[in-house]
Each structure stands twice: as C-alpha cells, then as structure tokens.
Amino acid sequence: MLTITITSFSFLNGSYPTDESGNGGGFVFDCRALPNPGRLDDFKSLSGKDAPVVQFLDSSAEVSHFLEAVYLLVDQSVKKYQERDFSNLMISFGCTGGQHRSVYAAEKLSGFLKQNFDVNIRLFHLNQENWRKFA
C-alpha cells in the first residue's frame, strides 16, 4: 500500500523536510504567495489547524485555486504510484513561519487523500515549537 508523507515546514527556519524513504523527495509546494493570516493580530497565536484560520483561508479564492491545482497534481501522481506499486510519496508545504498556510494546506491535502484514496497517510508539522513564538 502507498504511504504518503505530508509535511508542513518553515522556509524562514530552513527546516526543510527530509525524505526518510530513500526515494529522494517528491512535491514541495510554496504557500508564501497565499494570503497570510499570520500578519493579522487575531491569528498570530493560532495555527492552520485552528477554526478561525481555517475559515479565513477557506474564504479566499486564491487559496481555493491553489489547492485545486495541488489536488490535480497529487491525484495524478497517486494514481500512477499505485498503478506502479510504488510504496512512498512525499509532499511538503512551506510558508514563512510554518504555522498557518503550510499547516492548513497539509491538513487539507490529508483530508482530500483520505476521502479519495486507499493510502496510508503520515502527517507532520515540523515547526510546532515556534507556533506561539510569533504571538
């Protein structure tokens, strides 16, 4: 069965995800062009898993278009990986602090994959220790 590792990370901290499967990585999506809830005082101490941030990002057409493109690319790869009996796929999302946009996108992709594929999903947020630091 295909295992998909989804990771959120901070470009600012340089904590790039490493591919432990030995396959040399996969997709890396840059979320920094999306609206940044971290610039708003109400959201600074929250993460992309918290309802107010999720609602803020869900309401953005830019974010919806971004996720649609991600889903399209990943959907195609997952189908081919399963067809070819590959065992691992790595997908990473980066943003400035690794707290809002990348976390949100990683969570959304995880939900999309669970809903559409029979795969194992490993979900990691690399910068949780810094989430409250910027508040």
pLDDT digits (tens, 9 = 90+) for 11-56: 987 778 888 888 877 999 999 999 999 999 999 999 999 999 999 9
Neighbours of 133 (CB within 10 A): 11
pLDDT digits (tens, 9 = 90+) for 71-112: 999 999 999 999 999 999 999 999 999 999 999 999 999 999
Q: Which residue has the tokens 């974010």?
A: 63
Domain ranges of the chain: 3-129
Which is higher by pLDDT, 105 or 127? 105
Distance, CA of 117 to CA of 5 (rounded, Å): 14
Provide the pLDDT for residue 133. 58
Predicted model pTM: 0.94
